[in-house]
Amino acid sequence: MTYYSRQYLSTQINTASGRRLIVYLFDGVEGHLTQALEELLAERFGPCGKHVSAAMDILIELAAALDFEASPALARRLLALYNYLIETLATTLTARDPKQLRACLGVLSTLADAWRHVSAAAAPPPASKAGAPAPARRDTAVAVAV
């Protein structure tokens, strides 16, 4: 990654909303698990383990960031899901089973898509051109406080 790419990424992260940061975290988990699957299929178990470990670290951070006061039921369900993923990933390392890794990727992709939708729905409307008023926007309720 070049210096300018790192600077751009740093700016994106430092100026992102809470919802957008969660999307970035899910992007990171998906990226690490995709790399882990490639390494596992190539029987490069050391690099695979590093990617799985990095994905597990991100999942632990996502679990720690849950707001049980804003939405206790949703937070409990997400915590159970994160714990399931972490446990499954841990067994994937010892079993070296690509099916388990693919299953985790499927669950994470679904969650990531949901967060992308929430983040996009909560984004401010684009600036209007030539001083014209921006179209009215219907706010949607979000069940998770970030």
For the chain, what percent of residues have pLDDT higher than 90? 58
Q: What is the 3-class SS of 31-77, one letter each residue?
A: HHHHHHHHHHHCCCHHHHHHHHHHHHHHHHHHHHCCCCCCCHHHHHH
129 confidence band (pLDDT: 50, 70, 90): low
Q: Could you list the residue range(s) of the whole structural domain that residue 92 is in?
A: 17-121
CB 81 within 8 A of CB 107: yes
Report the domain count for the chain. Answer: 1
In a domain, 117, yes or no: yes
What's the average model confidence in pLDDT over 74-93?
95
Q: What's the CA gap between 39 and 54, in Å, rounded?
A: 14
Q: What's the CA gap between 23 and 76, in Å, rounded?
A: 20
Q: What's the CA gap between 47 and 39, in Å, rounded?
A: 6
CATH code, domain carrying 47: 1.20.120.340
Q: What's the CA gap between 37 and 96, in Å, rounded?
A: 10
